[in-house]
């Protein structure tokens, strides 16, 4: 799979998870983070095959999103464990975003 396809699919998945999170929970943070992260990755995917600097930039953003989604997921899971049942859906969505980010990051390392 080409880097362009990898990052565009990644962006679409993150965008869909953010939009789904907003539709389920009506949390604007899910919409904003999903749209922002997904849009950045989709935009980078158009140019990732043309320049090595763009490929490195896409990998850096992928790693930053991985860290952000993991941290936010950890916080949501901790809130869930501390008797905040409304954090179940955000925990699941953020965990899914983090898992997708890990998988994409591993695939992108194979193509360096």
Q: What is the largest CA-CA distance in the chain?
A: 49
Sequence length of the chain is: 112
H-state helical runs in 1-112: 3-25, 28-45, 52-81, 88-110
For 21-34, write each residue's pLDDT tens digit.
999 999 898 889 99
Q: Does 40 have pLDDT greater than 70?
A: yes
For 6-26, write each residue's pLDDT tens digit.
999 999 999 999 999 999 999
List the one residue out of 9, 1, 4, 5 whose CA is nearest residue 101.
9
Q: What are phi and psi of 46, to 5 degrees?
A: -65, -25
Give residue 112's pLDDT: 66
């Amino acid at each position: 799979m080409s880097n362009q396809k990898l990052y565009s699919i990644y962006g679409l998945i993150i965008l869909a998870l953010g939009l789904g999170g907003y539709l389920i929970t009506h949390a604007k943070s899910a919409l904003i983070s999903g749209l922002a992260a997904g849009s950045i990755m989709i935009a980078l995917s158009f140019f990732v095959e043309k320049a090595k600097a763009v490929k490195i930039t896409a990998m850096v953003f992928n790693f930053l999103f991985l860290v952000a989604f993991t941290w936010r997921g950890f916080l949501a899971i901790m809130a869930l464990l501390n008797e905040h049942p409304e954090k179940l859906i955000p925990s699941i969505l953020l965990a899914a975003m983090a898992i997708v980010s890990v998988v994409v990051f591993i695939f992108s390392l194979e193509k360096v």
